[in-house]
Amino acid sequence: MLREFANTAPALIAYIDHTLTYRYANETYRLWRGLAPDDIVGKSMREIVGERSYAMLESKARAALDGEAVIYEMELFDGERRRFVHGNYTPDRAADGSIAGFHVLVTDISDRRALEERLVRSERQFNDAFRHAAIGMALVALDGSWRDVNPALIAMLGYGEQEFLTLTFQDITHPDDLAADLDLLDDLVAGTIRSYQMEKRYFRKDGAIVHAILAVSLVRGEDGTPLHFISQIQDITARREAEEQLFNEHELSQVTLRSIGDGVMTTDREARITWLNPAAERLTGRSNAQAKGLPTAEIFPIETEDGSPVDDPVTRAIATGEVQFIDTIVLLRRADGSHVPVSDTAAPIRNQAGAIVGGVLVFQDASAERARRLQLLAEARSDALTGLLNRAGFDERLAALMARAGEDRRELALLFCDLDGFKPINDTYGHSTGDQVLKEVAARLLRGTRHGDVVARWAGDEFVIIIQFDAEETPDIVADRLTRSVREPIAIAGLARPISVGISIGISIAGAVGWDTAALLNKADAALYAAKARGGNAVRFG
């Protein structure tokens, strides 16, 4: 309904942003300039009004962008045609005081001007124009009483023609607007101004408030004596309600975006930051002021767990015109160099015509989710009893070490270990005692190896160890140290005497069996079997 009103209004209604680019234009532009609104939006003011008119209007437009409510009357050029217009540039002031653009209301008053010039010559012509005007018109006495009103004003305010004649404009003017109106009338009578225009509120007969633009001029006699006022009253209630609704919706969205825990950033068509909400400021470590105008990739640099950079999702969304989802958690590098895990979604922002005008990125702190996943991953690769790697975790580490050792020709050995005399402990003392023995053996194996070596529980009372050895720390030296450590008696709470177990170890050397993990395991397993066959508590090379 509001758009229909704007498109049928007998005036140019538009919105021009801070770059002097049209962002909205009503259908009246088609009548005035032969251009459809869609052909106007996105074009500069200079392109639409032409060089001759732009030379006169530029200073007024920039005054509006400086926060000044601009009212003007002048003759403008529409190609070869001339129009005398009444213009109103109303700044679009945000809550923080910044000016995003200005609203344009331009009325063609060429007819009114011609009417004023012909008034003394033809009362009939004036009366015809008065009666058939699409906006409210009235003749008002110097004391404010209504002398004549046209049908449009009667329809606008709901009073009958005779009722009007018993009232003054002061009677139906909102009290908050009356003083300003009277001051302008005084200036008009004094001759300091020729006419004036203002926004004001009237009371309809039913008590409703009508928002209007009032334009007033003064008719003087031949001797200069003031005779009466001519008032033009244009109902802009629908426009004001639309502006209020847009303001409320904008304010609601801003409050919502400022309050939510998700980070939100918006960008222009070139993926440069236009706004960060507080959550985005907190997560990126940059303020909205610091980020504004910078590329998204600079404010939101993301990478994988291994440090590989990830393409900017906003740039991709704008380029493809599609929503971009990052399926995995990525690491956001904050302003201080620290990292925070995030998940994010980016989407293009389109205008009413469907053209992409920017992008929006919504992202969340995924620290808790990442920690949970890492915990699950660790649990899936570790032995619950001893805390060592389990078989799955060991296989991953062995494959990685073998790959690197094969490339670098490092000295790598695998020790396959099996406890001797463990089954009688379980049979005699129970599994709880057996578990304590396994935990102590695991601790001794860890203490007997170096940092970088890998110790894992293979199954039951079997353990596997990967060592990187050198001339000072050979596999047989390590195996001997581990054997002596494990054989030391183990004190168990509640038992009168300590428990002793032995250990057999089979060793295979990487390289000697190739760089295949299965071959390395099989060779060590065969060596362990040989050690066990000789009565246990032995070390054998495969």
Q: In 293-349, which residue ranges form alpha helices assigned H by DSSP?
A: 296-299, 313-320
CATH 3.30.450.20, applies to 112-240: yes
192/362 Cα distance (integer angstroms): 57
| CATH superfamily label, 2-108 | PAS domain (3.30.450.20)
Specify the higher pLDDT residue, 409 or 204.
204
Confidence of residue 374 (pLDDT cuts 50, 70, 90): low
Centroid of chain to Cα 63? 31
| 307 phi and psi angles, rounded to 5 deg | 90, 5
Please give the CATH topology (third level) of the domain spanning 261-370.
Beta-Lactamase (3.30.450)
Range with the poorest average pLDDT among 2-16, 146-160, 389-403: 2-16
pLDDT averaged over every residue in the chain: 86
Candidates 235, 233, 225, 228; CA nearest to 145 is 228
How many CA atoms lie less than 13 Å away from 333 in the CB half-sphere?
Answer: 15
Residue type, 341: P
| Structure tokens belonging to residue 468 | 């990187």
Torsion of CA 70, 72, 78, 81, to 10 degrees: 180
| Residue 370: pLDDT over 70 | no
- pLDDT tens digits for range 305-328: 888 888 899 999 999 999 888 778
**pLDDT at position 464:** 96
* Sign of the CA dihedral with 532 first, then 533, 534, and 535 last: positive
60/70 Cα distance (integer angstroms): 7
51/440 Cα distance (integer angstroms): 91
Distances (CA, A) of 332 to 46, 276, 325, 363, 481: 43, 15, 15, 10, 46
**pLDDT at position 158:** 92
- pLDDT tens digits for range 454-496: 999 998 999 999 998 887 889 999 999 999 999 999 999 888 8
Output the pTM of the full model: 0.38
| Structure tokens belonging to residue 435 | 């578990």
- In the chain, domain spans: 2-108, 112-240, 261-370, 381-541
- pLDDT tens digits for range 234-274: 999 888 877 766 654 544 445 444 546 588 889 999 999 99
Q: Do residues 277 and 306 touch, judged by C-beta distance below 8 A?
A: no
**pLDDT at position 227:** 92
**DSSP β-bridge partners for residue 420:** 502
Centroid of chain to Cα 169? 50
**pLDDT at position 512:** 58
| Structure tokens belonging to residue 162 | 């005779």
Specify the higher pLDDT residue, 177 or 130.
177
Helix/strand/coil for 98: coil
Are the folds of 2-108 and 112-240 the same? Answer: yes
Specify the higher pLDDT residue, 111 or 507.
507
Q: Do residues 202 and 210 touch, judged by C-beta distance below 8 A?
A: yes
251/523 Cα distance (integer angstroms): 73
**DSSP β-bridge partners for residue 108:** 85
376/73 Cα distance (integer angstroms): 74
Specify the higher pLDDT residue, 503 or 117.
503
Specify the higher pLDDT residue, 513 or 193.
193
Specify the higher pLDDT residue, 248 or 83.
83
Q: What is the CATH number of domain 381-541?
A: 3.30.70.270
Confidence of residue 365 (pLDDT cuts 50, 70, 90): confident
